[in-house]
C-alpha cells in the first residue's frame, strides 16, 4: 500500500437487510450517510431466496416440476425491481438473462453430482441481488464497481462447504488494495480450481466479509443486522436482553461455539489474526453504536450471556453388562455420531455411562438410536433444553433453572451449562 492510501472498510448486508425495495433503499441511505472509502460491500441473497433456490434443487432431485417454485423467485425479485427502477431500465433485460441462465442450469441438474449442482443453482441468489443493488446504487448517484466474488475468492472443490485457498485469494484480492472507490460484491460464493462456482456453507456471507478484510488488511468490518448488536440473550427467550457493547474476539468465538447465531463462527479468526475491528450494527437504527469486537478482554465478564438450545435430546449410553465405558467404546460411539452427521452439543462421562446432548433432529436421531441400541443400553430424555450461561453467578443460575429439573450440569470458571426439563 502506497503512502497516504486509505485502509479499506468492509460492510456486510445480510438477506433481511435487502429483503424488499424499501430495505434496498435503506441500504442506499446508509451508504450515502457513511461515505467511508475505500469500501467493499458484501451482500447476501435477498430475503429467503437461498431457501427458495434450495427448494429448486430438492424438487429437481425428486424429478418434480420446478416451474411454480421458479416463478415465485422471479415474481419476488420482479416486484423489487419494478419498485426500484423505471419500466424501460436495462436491469429488466439483465434480470431476464440471469433467470434464463438459472433455468438452463436447473435443467442440467444431475443426481450424481448433487453438491456441485447445488452450488451452481443456489449461487444465483447472490448474483441476482448484487446485480440489482449495484445498478440501483449507480442509479441514485452512489457510484460503485461491481465485483464478481468468484474472481477473487478461490476455493477447493468441496462443493457446499468449500475451503478457501488463502494464498490464491490473497493474491487476487490484493490487486484491488490500491483502489479508492466503492465495491459491491457477493457473499457466500467462490470459485473452485475447476473454475466452477462454489459456496462456503449456509450463512457464509459474514465469512466472505472477513476474507476480503483479511486479504485487504482492512481497518474494520461492519456487519449490518436487524438486531441492535450482539445481545446477551436471544430476545425470543428473554424480555429485555442487553447489548454487549465491547467484547473480545475470544468471547465472540466462545459465544458462537455455544450457539449464539449473530455472527458466523468462521468470521472471527481471520479478523483476530490481523486485529481488524468488527462492528455489529443495526440497519434499522444505524445511529446506535452496536457491538464492537476487538482484542479488548477487559469488558467480557461484565454481563452474563445466555444461550438457549431447545428441542434437545439427552442420551445416556452404557455397556449392556454394566462394564466401564472405555476408550474403545468411545471411539466406536464417536464414529457413529460422525457418520450420521450428528453434532454433539454437550457430553459427559461417568464410570458406566456416557451422556450426550444433541439437537433432536428425528431424521438423524432415529437411525442413531437404532444403531446404538445394537451394542449398548440406551436411555434418553426428549424435550429437554440446553442452556449455557457465560460469566454466571448464583442469581443468573437460579433465574434460568426456575421450575426446571436439571438433568445434567457442567461448570467451569466462566461457563455453566445445564441440560434441563420443565417440572410437571
State the residues that interact with Mg ion by CB under 5 A.
15, 44
Shortest approach of ligand ASP to residue 27 CB, angstroms? Answer: 14
Tell whether residue 159 is a contact of ligand ASP (CB under 6 A). Answer: no
Tell whether residue 15 is a contact of ligand ASP (CB under 6 A). Answer: yes
Q: Which is nearer to ligand ASP, 188 or 354 (CB)?
A: 188
Write out the three cell numbers for 293.
469486537
Tell whether residue 50 is a contact of ligand ASP (CB under 6 A). Answer: yes
Q: Which is nearer to ligand ASP, 50 or 282 (CB)?
A: 50
Among 8, 188, 279, 337, binds ligand ASP (CB under 6 A): 188
Shortest approach of ligand ASP to residue 204 CB, angstroms? Answer: 5
Alpha carbon of 197 to those of 125, 147, 148, 158, 168: distances in Å?
Answer: 13, 15, 11, 11, 16
Shortest approach of ligand ASP to residue 279 CB, angstroms? Answer: 17
Among 125, 190, 241, 290, binds ligand ASP (CB under 6 A): 125
Give the residues across from 358 on adjacent strands: 313
Residue 125's binding partner out of Mg ion, ligand ASP, none, with CB under 5 to 8 Å set by partner kind:
ligand ASP
Shortest approach of ligand ASP to residue 407 CB, angstroms? Answer: 33
Residue where the block lists cell 463462527? 265
Shortest approach of ligand ASP to residue 74 CB, angstroms? Answer: 18
C-alpha–C-alpha distance, residues 155 and 153, integer Å = 7
Among 38, 204, 270, 304, binds ligand ASP (CB under 6 A): 204
Tell whether residue 45 is a contact of ligand ASP (CB under 6 A). Answer: yes
Q: Which is nearer to ligand ASP, 38 or 125 (CB)?
A: 125
Q: Which is nearer to ligand ASP, 203 or 300 (CB)?
A: 203
Residue 187's binding partner out of ligand ASP, Mg ion, none, with CB under 5 to 8 Å set by partner kind:
ligand ASP
Alpha carbon of 28 to those of 90, 133, 145, 286: distances in Å?
Answer: 20, 9, 15, 12
C-alpha–C-alpha distance, residues 300 and 321, integer Å = 47
Tell whether residue 190 is a contact of ligand ASP (CB under 6 A). Answer: no
Separation of first and last alpha carbons in the chain = 65
Tell whether residue 53 is a contact of ligand ASP (CB under 6 A). Answer: no
Shortest approach of ligand ASP to residue 378 CB, angstroms? Answer: 35
Among 8, 9, 14, 293, binds ligand ASP (CB under 6 A): 14
- Cα angle vertex 144, ends 8, 86, to 5°? 150
Q: Which is nearer to ligand ASP, 56 or 313 (CB)?
A: 56
Number of residues binding to ligand ASP, judged by CB under 6 A: 12
Segment 264 to 323, residues that bind ligand ASP, using CB under 6 A:
none
Tell whether residue 160 is a contact of ligand ASP (CB under 6 A). Answer: no
Shortest approach of ligand ASP to residue 314 CB, angstroms? Answer: 29
Residue 204's binding partner out of Mg ion, ligand ASP, none, with CB under 5 to 8 Å set by partner kind:
ligand ASP
Shortest approach of Mg ion to residue 125 CB, angstroms? Answer: 8
Segment 317 to 356, residues that bind ligand ASP, using CB under 6 A:
none
Segment 350 to 409, residues that bind ligand ASP, using CB under 6 A:
none
Shortest approach of ligand ASP to residue 76 CB, angstroms? Answer: 14
Shortest approach of Mg ion to residue 223 CB, angstroms? Answer: 12
- Residues of the shown chain interacting with ligand ASP in the complex, contacts defined by CB under 6 A: 14-15, 44-45, 50, 125, 187-188, 202-205
Amino acid at each position: 500500500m502506497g503512502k497516504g492510501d486509505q485502509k479499506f472498510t468492509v460492510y456486510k448486508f445480510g438477506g433481511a437487510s435487502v429483503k424488499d425495495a424499501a430495505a434496498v433503499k435503506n441500504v442506499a441511505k446508509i451508504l450515502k450517510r457513511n461515505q467511508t472509502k475505500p469500501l467493499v460491500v458484501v451482500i447476501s441473497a435477498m430475503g429467503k431466496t437461498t431457501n427458495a433456490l434450495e427448494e429448486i434443487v430438492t424438487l429437481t432431485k425428486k424429478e418434480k416440476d420446478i416451474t411454480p417454485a421458479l416463478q415465485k423467485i422471479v415474481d419476488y425479485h420482479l416486484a423489487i425491481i419494478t419498485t426500484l427502477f423505471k419500466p424501460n431500465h436495462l436491469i429488466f433485460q439483465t434480470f431476464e438473462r440471469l433467470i434464463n441462465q438459472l433455468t438452463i442450469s436447473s435443467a442440467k441438474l444431475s443426481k450424481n453430482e448433487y453438491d456441485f449442482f447445488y452450488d451452481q443453482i443456489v449461487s444465483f441468489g447472490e448474483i441476482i441481488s448484487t446485480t440489482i443493488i449495484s445498478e440501483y446504487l449507480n442509479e441514485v448517484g452512489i457510484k460503485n464497481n461491481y465485483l464478481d466474488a468468484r474472481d477473487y475468492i478461490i476455493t477447493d472443490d468441496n462443493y457446499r462447504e468449500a475451503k478457501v485457498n488463502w494464498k490464491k485469494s490473497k493474491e487476487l484480492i490484493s490487486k484491488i488494495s490500491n483502489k479508492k472507490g466503492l465495491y459491491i460484491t457477493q457473499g457466500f460464493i467462490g470459485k473452485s480450481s475447476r473454475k466452477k462456482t462454489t459456496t462456503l456453507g449456509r450463512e457464509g456471507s459474514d465469512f466472505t466479509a472477513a476474507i476480503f478484510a483479511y486479504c485487504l488488511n482492512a481497518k474494520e468490518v461492519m456487519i449490518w443486522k436487524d438486531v441492535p448488536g450482539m445481545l446477551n440473550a436471544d430476545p425470543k427467550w428473554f424480555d429485555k436482553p442487553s447489548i454487549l457493547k465491547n467484547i473480545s474476539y475470544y468471547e465472540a468465538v466462545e459465544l458462537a461455539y455455544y450457539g449464539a447465531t449473530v455472527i458466523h463462527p468462521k468470521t472471527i479468526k481471520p479478523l483476530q489474526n490481523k486485529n481488524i475491528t468488527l462492528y455489529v450494527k443495526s440497519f434499522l437504527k444505524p445511529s446506535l453504536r452496536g457491538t464492537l469486537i476487538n482484542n479488548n478482554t477487559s469488558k467480557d465478564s461484565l454481563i452474563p450471556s445466555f444461550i438457549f438450545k431447545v428441542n434437545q435430546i439427552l442420551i445416556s449410553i452404557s455397556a449392556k453388562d454394566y462394564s466401564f465405558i472405555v476408550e474403545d467404546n468411545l471411539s466406536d460411539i464417536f464414529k457413529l455420531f460422525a457418520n450420521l452427521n450428528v453434532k454433539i452439543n454437550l457430553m459427559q462421562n461417568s464410570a458406566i455411562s456416557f451422556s450426550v446432548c444433541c439437537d433432536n433432529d428425528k431424521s438423524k436421531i432415529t437411525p442413531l438410536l437404532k444403531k446404538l441400541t445394537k451394542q449398548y443400553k440406551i436411555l434418553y430424555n426428549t424435550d429437554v433444553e440446553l442452556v449455557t450461561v457465560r460469566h454466571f453467578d448464583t442469581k443468573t443460575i437460579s433465574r434460568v433453572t426456575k421450575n426446571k429439573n436439571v438433568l445434567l450440569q457442567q461448570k467451569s470458571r466462566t461457563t455453566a451449562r445445564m441440560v434441563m426439563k420443565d417440572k410437571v
